[in-house]
Amino acid sequence: MAILQVKDLSKSFATVHALKGVSFTVRSGAVVGLIGPNGAGKTTLIKCILRLIRYEQGRIFLNGQPLSSRKELAAQISYIPEQPVYYEELTVEENLNLYAMLSGTPRREFAEKKAMLVDRLDMAEYLKKLPDQLSKGNKQKLMIAMAFLKRFQLLLADEPFSGLDPVMIRRLKDLFLAVKKEEKTVLLSTHLLDLAQTVCDDYIFLDHGAILAAGSREEILRAAGASGKEEFSLEEAYLKLLARGENP
Partner 1 sequence: MSIPRLLFKNQLRGYWKLLRKGLPLLAALLVFILFLAGEVRTLVTNKEFLGAFLPPVYAVVLLFIAARRILFLKYPPFYFSLPGLYFFLTTPVNHRLVLAGKILLSYLPLLFLGFGWSLLAGPVQTGLLNGAGLFFCLAAIANISWLLYNTAAGRLFLRKVLAFLAITLLLLLKTPGFVWAIIAAGCFWRAVNTVDEINWSKYENHCRLAYLSRKYFLAGDWGGLESLTYEYAREKRPAAAFLSTRVYVTGYKAFAYGQFLILSRYSLLSFVVFLGQYVFAVFLMGRGEFFSLTGGSFLLLLGFAGLFFLPVQKLEQRMAQGLFPAGGFTEFITGLLLLPAVVAWMFLAAIFFIAPTGINPLLQIAASLVPAAILSYLAVVRGMLQPAFSGWFLTGALLFALLFSCIYRASWWEALLVLLLFIPYMLISWRRMKRIYEGTDF
Chain CA centroid to CA 102, Å: 21
Which of 70, 128 has the CB closer to partner 1? 70
Which of 100, 220 has the CB closer to partner 1? 100
Which of 51, 180 has the CB closer to partner 1? 51
Binding site for partner 1 (CB under 8 A): 47, 50-54, 68-72, 74-75, 77-79, 81, 85-90, 94, 97-99, 101-104, 150
Q: Single out the residue of 162, 125, 119, 169 nearest to residue 140, CA to CA.
A: 162
Q: Residue 47 CB, nearest distance to partner 1 (Å)? A: 7
Q: Residue 138 CB, nearest distance to partner 1 (Å)? A: 17
Q: Residue 68 CB, nearest distance to partner 1 (Å)? A: 8
Q: Residue 51 CB, nearest distance to partner 1 (Å)? A: 7
Q: What is the 3-state secondary structure (H, E, C) of the chain?
A: CEEEEEEEEEEEECCEEEEEEEEEEEECCCEEEEECCCCCCHHHHHHHHCCCCCCCEEEEEECCEECCCHHHHHHHEEEECCCCCCCCCCCHHHHHHHHHHHHCCCHHHHHHHHHHHHHHCCCHHHCCCCHHHCCHHHHHHHHHHHHHHCCCCEEEEECCCCCCCHHHHHHHHHHHHHHHHCCCEEEEEECCHHHHHCCCCEEEEEECCEEEEEEEHHHHHHHCCCCCCCCCCHHHHHHHHHHHHHCC
Which of 69, 227 has the CB closer to partner 1? 69
Q: Residue 227 CB, nearest distance to partner 1 (Å)? A: 44
Q: Residue 79 CB, nearest distance to partner 1 (Å)? A: 5
Which of 158, 207 has the CB closer to partner 1? 158
Which of 151, 217 has the CB closer to partner 1? 151
Report yes or no: 148 and 113 within 8 Å, Cβ to Cβ: yes
